[in-house]
Amino acid sequence: MIDKPSGVIVFVKNKLISLDTIIPVLLELKESYNISSTIIVFDRLAHEGIKSNVVIRDVVKYIGSELYISRGVNNRIIRKVVIFSSLFMLMIKAVFGYKIIHFGILDIFPFKYIFSSFKRNVYFSQHDSFLHTYDKYDYLFSKSSKKDTPNLIGDNIIVFNDGMEGLDQISKDKNIYFFGETRTRKIWIDYAKRNENYYFSKYHGGLDYSKGFVVFILSTFGELKSIKNYKSGMLDLFHNTIEVLSSFDVQILLKPHVFTDMDIVSDAIKNKKNMHITYIHPTMLSLNSKLFISNTYSTTLADAYSLDVPTIEYSDYSDVLLQASNQKSMGYRYVSYFINNDKKLLIETIKNILSKPENKGFNGVTGDNSGLLEDLSK
């Protein structure tokens, strides 16, 4: 048996939030233990998400590589052959001691049968390192709330916050690693600081950000039942926010969501010289941002809030949601100011934030009392 693995294999979900959560851990393994990682992607949307998220894309290359299984294969039979041959190669790596991290995919066929023999080296991970509260209100809109639940395959469970249900019901034979938030790790923040100038020069070369900027986190402009006028409310909020932000003498960086209609965005900002589209990672944007703002709760606000950047949710909640949330944001933990359909208050709040000196004293978390990094590196 090989004591020191050649690397770590990570099966990510089709949404990038799982990769965004685990990648600071993989970066720390690379820089502190010289352990490389292979990111396994099955879904085209996830693959395209990695390509468009320029910082994540480059970090993946730095720590190891991405394996996009069934890349470009449309024939169903050939696709299955490619997938099973790839899984066979991964199984061989598992035989030689590679550690395997997943977010639930190993619970289903055929993965649970392929990797059940290596459960000592299998780690089930919570998919988000921040403790969001928005899913408490899913019942209002007839949506099922998906919770992380500890799996049966694998002897190890990685926990980042108190949002994982069922921990008290799992076998005592499993190892539980209470690691804490990942994107507040010092190594991750230091990486962002080292590379900040490179990304801004490459993607925003003409932008003077020495005086800071405002980040506008975009969402979908489609129907959203949490909004009072759910058919057009998000689009109205977007245009109102653009109007307000354009009145300030500050650079505005608009960060799209994967479902944002970019034609609408481009048309709205085409004559506004202080507004720019960005695909830079929220951690990097937080280093010099004066403010993050969104029109409905975005998990991205947690990145900014955790690095001492003020956050605003400017929205127009439905009456039933406003009552259920007690006039607060659905994600109140990471929202500094919740403003519901009050443009005047929004203007005053932004003016107040921009007039104050920045107070960013957080440098990142070091150490690992859980022992996760040490065990992954063995």
Calpha distance 150→170 (Å, rounded): 7
Closest CA to 339 of 213, 241, 256: 241
Tokens (6 digits) for 274: 């202080």
What average pLDDT score do residues 294-321 get?
Answer: 97
pLDDT digit string, tens, across residues 125-156 = 999 999 999 989 988 886 665 555 555 678 99
What average pLDDT score do residues 57-70 get?
Answer: 93
Which burial class, exposed, middle or buried, applies to 9 when counting CB atoms under 10 A from its CB (0-12, 13-18, 19+)?
A: buried
Least confidently predicted of 137-151, 327-341, 359-373: 137-151
The reported pLDDT for the residue numbered 1 is 38
24 upstream amide cis, omega within 30 of 0: no
Beta strands at 213-217 and 122-125: parallel, antiparallel or unpaired: unpaired
Calpha distance 115→147 (Å, rounded): 23
Which residues belong to CATH 3.40.50.2000 in the chain? 206-355
The reported pLDDT for the residue numbered 168 is 75
What single letter denotes the amino acid at residue 129? S
Least confidently predicted of 75-84, 186-195, 267-276, 290-299: 75-84
What average pLDDT score do residues 178-207 get?
Answer: 95
Least confidently predicted of 187-191, 207-211, 232-236, 283-287: 207-211
7-184+366-376 placed in CATH 2.30.30: no
Averaged pLDDT score across all residues of the chain: 90
The CATH architecture of the domain made up of 206-355 is 3-Layer(aba) Sandwich (3.40)
* Cβ within 8 Å of residue 29, ≥6 positions away: 8, 35, 37, 63, 373, 376, 377
pTM across the whole model: 0.92
Closest CA to 12 of 54, 61, 55, 45: 45
Higher pLDDT, 172 or 101: 101
pLDDT digit string, tens, across residues 25-55 = 999 999 999 999 999 998 888 898 899 999 9
